[in-house]
Amino acid sequence: MSRPDGVARRRVLQWSAAAATVAAGSAALTGCAGQTGGTRTVAGSGKALRVGASDATGTIGLDPRHAGFGASYIALYHLYDQLMYLKGSRYELGLAESVEPSADAAEWTVRIHRHAVFHDGSPVRAADVAYSLRTLATPPSTRANNFADLDLDRLKVVDQYTLKVGLKRPRGDFREGILAVFSPVFPEGTRDKDFARGVGSGPYRLEEQDGKNLRLAVNDKYWNGTSHFRRIDLSLIADPAARLAALKSGQIDYAFGITATGAKAERANRAISVRRGHTANSNALSFAMNERLAPFDDPDVRRAVRLAADRDALVQKVLLGLGTPGEDLVGKGLPGYAGRARTRDVAEAKRLFARAGVDTLELRAADTVPGFTAAARLLGQQLKEAGVDLDVRTVPADTYYADLKGLSRAPFQTFYYANRPAAVHLSATTTKGAFFNVTGLGERHFKRLAAAQATVDDGRREAAFAAIQRDLSATGGDLLWGFQEQLDASVPGLTGVWSSQSTPVFTRARTA
Amino acid sequence: MRTAVRLAALAGRRLAGALATLLAGSFVLFAAAEVLPGDAAAAALGGSASPADVARLHAELGLDRPLPVRYADWIGSALSGDLGHSLVDRRPVSQIIAGPLADTLLLAGVCAALTVVLALAIGLAAGLRPGSLLDRILSGTSVALVSVPQFVTAGLLTLVLASWLGVLPAVSLVPFGEPLLAHPEALVLPVTALTLFSAAWAGRLVRAAVADAAATPHVEAARLAGLAPARVVLRHLLPTAAGPCAQVFGWLTGTLVGGTAVVEQVFNYPGLSNELVAAVEHHDAAVLEGIGLLMAAAVVTGLLLADLLTAAADPRTRTAT
């Protein structure tokens, strides 16, 4: 019940795993200590929405270069406009009015909305966009990896609203693979301490922060229409049980991140409403086999492990049913997904294991996502039926990703990814330079991926990505068994909340 | 006069001993924080950092120097009040922990005051008549409270007082820029949860000290001499029990500061434990060491006070070296 900040840790790792990452900033907590049970009227009036969230960094940071998943991201999505968004299962234009490729997709033209204005009153210009991209693409930005293909010398401001972005290699998926993943825009010249002022062109502006609380006020001059709630009060509440208790006692209106156990327990409680992220906003949970290391260098062994797993049982028992069975690929429920249903075949698994001479396996497991070690033990029982003893070696979750050598040397380990569209996932985490190559992908994959990314024609590019997915699903190293949903909870009657990469956005939120 | 001099000499010796203990403890702490798996530079830079980036930040943060050198640097600055800078966001550690420290001290302080009063009341009520019905009730309740994990007690309090009855806030949220003290209701649940535990724990030890004192010959004699019960307790029993009680309360000072962690997590209390958990997660050794040093200092101070109180209460210890 008092597990310290599981979501935060999970998310920080999720982003690391997505080669995206995290660091720090400052300021959190909303004010309503005086309000006790039953005070649900504030959200109802449209005045303020009180949100409780944890944060991967332990503080709410407003610096996009280091933002942590959780409260910082929520603040970021309201203060800054992004050029594009991943919105549920689609990618959409944001501040960018259009994003168009050159014939070979090696240069892109970005046009921005003409009426966008920063919170300090200055207009948003192409120069600001160029400055933002440059800043995000350069260390100490922890997001630099996302922009690795940008050729910063060929970042050209054409006119006040138009910008050309040159790439080091063609990227047909520039929109969904780079801009939609992360592209907040801030004024030219913003550096270091300036970020604490949170000046963007987003639908909310920073009103107050005192290191413990963050209060956003609606931006009435927002180019894309004004929002219903006049204020958003963001509180840092680290523990998921405490967030749920705060919601139940009326101290907050929206709890970002509750546990599956909490969601189950409150199912019948009409005073709150549990909000399921479904597969579009979820973690893809995997037992990763490294195909460069024995015994997983034998495709038959990888196949046998996948055939032996009972994915439904894992989802039911470990995720308490609040999830979807996986098909060894990231991206289920999202565009471009090419996965196919899996069926368990213990007899065939047994035959393959016997033929490969495998009767014991060792799995490195950590609760980087709560329940991972339980899942590992359950997998052990399932493998037993196929004649294989699984030795589960548990390691501490908080240092799991710190031990990079351990990650690359472990033949078999628990691992998870943020569920994002397959093309985004493949580009962000399985390229040659990506940080965690836990399934031992090789040159052949990198080449195919680069070719797919360079394809300008949307249809052909999608087909190329689908082919890569089919290949991974046939012989890849992930036993990706389930999707664990992002679970939030709110007061009843709150509608219009949309999610981008599991982060709730309240610009269209209303109460009934 | 002679007594005062001896006490002062003892205080001096004990203080020196405490400082030596703290220094030794600080080295263990520093070494432990350094050998924690993981790396602040890598954590701060995130997953996309190249080994070269990490090495550069290492050099920049001075992490590439040998451990003893870094320790000497750190402890030297710490003694002059400078705890260094966070490895993650480069803010001064003292600035990061000042606010949370004040809130944790407030929580621990209120609990300590309540605990001393409650533990004395429980200890006297139960210890004066060991085996009586009152003793059995109080001792039984104390054992129950001490053995139930704190987060369970805290969870039950939240469930009943916040979720069901709605009379108290479930978590300690304090409005902008306002001090915690302006919202005493935010303190009630954390204080109650922490005090229930520490009063039960200290009460049992005080009870034992009182029971032992009640059985000593001179208290027995005083009682048999027909002195009024209140006089027996005040003049004869309490001075005998004072030493052990002082030890108990000395321990309490230290353990309360360290023991607030669970309660702070459950109630989202804005104290040190949030910073501590975050520091561990981010391998921010500087913050970890700063908080650890403060907690160690609190424990050592508590024990030092306990020793001095014991000495002041018991004439025999004053001559002990």
Question: Confidence class of residue A234 from pLDDT cuts 50, 70 and 90?
Answer: very high
Does A107 reside within a domain?
Answer: no
Q: What is the mean pLDDT of residues B296-305?
A: 84
Domain assignments of chain B as residue spans, ordered by start = 97-320
B162/A249 touch (CB, cutoff 8 Å), yes or no = yes
Highest mean pLDDT among A106-120, B33-47, B195-209: A106-120
Neighbouring C-beta atoms of residue A470, cutoff 10 Å: 15
Does A498 reside within a domain?
Answer: no
A31/B277 touch (CB, cutoff 8 Å), yes or no = no
Question: Confidence class of residue A30 from pLDDT cuts 50, 70 and 90?
Answer: very low
Nearest CA to CA, how far is A32 from chain B (Å)? 6
Residue A156's DSSP bridge partners are A164
Q: What is the CATH number of the domain that holds A355?
A: 3.10.105.10
Nearest neighbour of A251 by CB, restricted to B86, B173, B266: B173
Does A506 reside within a domain?
Answer: no
ipTM of the shown complex: 0.73
What are the tens digits of pLDDT across the range B94-142? 888 888 888 888 898 899 999 999 999 999 888 888 888 999 999 999 9
Nearest CA to CA, how far is B55 from chain A (Å)? 13
Which of these ranges, A236-240, A274-278, B189-193, has the smallest mean pLDDT? A236-240
Does A403 reside within a domain?
Answer: yes
A36/B280 touch (CB, cutoff 8 Å), yes or no = no
Q: What is the pLDDT of residue B245?
A: 86
CA–CA separation, A368 and A407 (whole Å): 13
Which of these ranges, A158-167, B48-57, B256-265, has the smallest mean pLDDT? B48-57
Chain A residue numbers with beta carbons less than 8 Å from the beta carbon of B48 are: 19-21, 142-146, 435
Torsion of CA A369, A373, A378, A383, to 10 degrees: 110
Does A36 reside within a domain?
Answer: no
Does A376 reside within a domain?
Answer: yes
Torsion of CA A63, B171, A371, A411, to 10 degrees: 30
Q: Return all residues near A191 (Cβ < 8 A) that are at least 6 apart.
A: A135
A33/B175 touch (CB, cutoff 8 Å), yes or no = yes
Q: What is the mean pLDDT of residues B206-231?
A: 86
The range of the structural domain enclosing residue A480 comes to 282-485
Percent of chain A with pLDDT over 70: 88
3-state secondary structure of A320: coil
Which DSSP string do the residues of B94-131 spell out, in sequence order? Answer: HHHHHHHHHHHHHHHHHHHHHHHHHHHHHHHHHHSSTT
Chain A residue numbers with beta carbons less than 8 Å from the beta carbon of B155 are: 1-2, 241
Q: Token pair of A264, please?
A: 């189950």
Nearest CA in chain B to A400: B38
Percent of chain A with pLDDT over 90: 53
What are the tens digits of pLDDT across the range A294-350? 899 999 999 999 999 999 999 999 999 999 999 999 999 888 899 999 999 999 999
Chain A residue numbers with beta carbons less than 8 Å from the beta carbon of B42 are: 402, 404
Chain A residue numbers with beta carbons less than 8 Å from the beta carbon of B49 are: 139, 142
More confident of the two residues A369 and A178: A178
Question: Confidence class of residue B1 from pLDDT cuts 50, 70 and 90?
Answer: low
Reported CATH class of domain B97-320: mainly alpha
A58/B155 touch (CB, cutoff 8 Å), yes or no = no
Q: Is the pLDDT of residue A3 over 60?
A: no
Q: What is the pLDDT of residue B308?
A: 82
- Domains contained in chain A, number: 1
